[in-house]
Amino acid sequence: MRYFIELSYCGTAYHGWQTQANGVSVQTTLEAALTQRLRKPVFVVGSGRTDAGVHARQQFAHFDLDEPILLSDALVYSINCILPEDIAIRTLFPVAPNHHARFSAVSRYYQYHITRYKNAFEPGLTYHFRPELNVELMNEACQILMRHTDFKSFSKVRANVTHFRCRLDFAYWQRSEADLLTLHIKANRFLWGMVRTIVGTMLEIGQGRMTLEQFEQLIVAQDRTIAGRAAPPNGLYLMEVGYPANILEQRVVYG
């Protein structure tokens, strides 16, 4: 039996999603809770890897079991009681054996949050960036971004991928009344470090340190060394992972 988990987490205390030797990860913490509750070893596969300090409003993972389990609100509640406060399972549901949390996903939607003023009640949840920004110019840069499909210039150099092509569905900046500037960006896939590097580069544009012509030239150059520095991880949120409707047909939200 294969099961999908829908969860969310605050990434501040974790060294990213993926299990690693140098720190606590979301994946390791989730596996430990499932193993304890189900009383058998459980190994999960996520829809994608988030870096250290990155958050997820919606993340999916799958795991396999030899025997079916009785799904209920009580089961989800009991696993959430084992998990730390900064990780929460929303639902757990069966899928076909060939449905894969990563490879069956058709889209990912991220937001990046920036504030000009420090907020003592939200440490590590937004990027506190003081300079004034030309948001109109940054949105023009988003329109340039939408015209392209190869984003090698925004990928970390050691990214283990066969190609750097992504299909963007939308990309735009939006300022709220509560002093929050947010990048909304959705694509079929994202490269390692891609969103944070796009944000860092667009902050250069917003400050007048890079022209729109230079921005398009660096995309075409396919050279990470000429793009801006990556923005800090604490402002980045994985908001939504999209799947075909047939995969989610048995999804029931508990609680």
The answer to whether 248 touches 111, Cβ cutoff 8 Å, is no
Angle, CA of 14, 170 and 166, to the nearest 5°: 70
Tokens describing residue 11:
């990434």
Percent composition of the chain: helix, strand, coil (DSSP 3-state, to 5): 25, 25, 45
CB 238 within 8 A of CB 54: yes
Return the structure tokens found at 170. Answer: 């939308």
Quickly tell me which residue has 């860092």 as its tokens: 200
Distance (Å, whole) CA 205 – CA 18:
33
Task: State how far the Cα of 31 lies from the Cα of 41, in Å rounded to an integer.
Answer: 8
110 marked ligand binding residue: yes
Write the DSSP assignment of 7-41 as a string of letters.
EEE-GGGSS-SS-BTTB--HHHHHHHHHHHHHTS-
Both structure tokens of 215: 């921005």
Amino acid at 56: A
Q: Helix, strand or coil for residue 144? A: helix
Residue 235 CA to residue 120 CA, distance in Å, equals: 15
Decide if 179 is catalytic. no
Beta bridge partners of 127: 114
Catalytic residue among 51, 73, 179, 223: 51
Annotation: binding site? 110
Annotation: binding site for substrate? 110
Kindly list the catalytic residues.
51
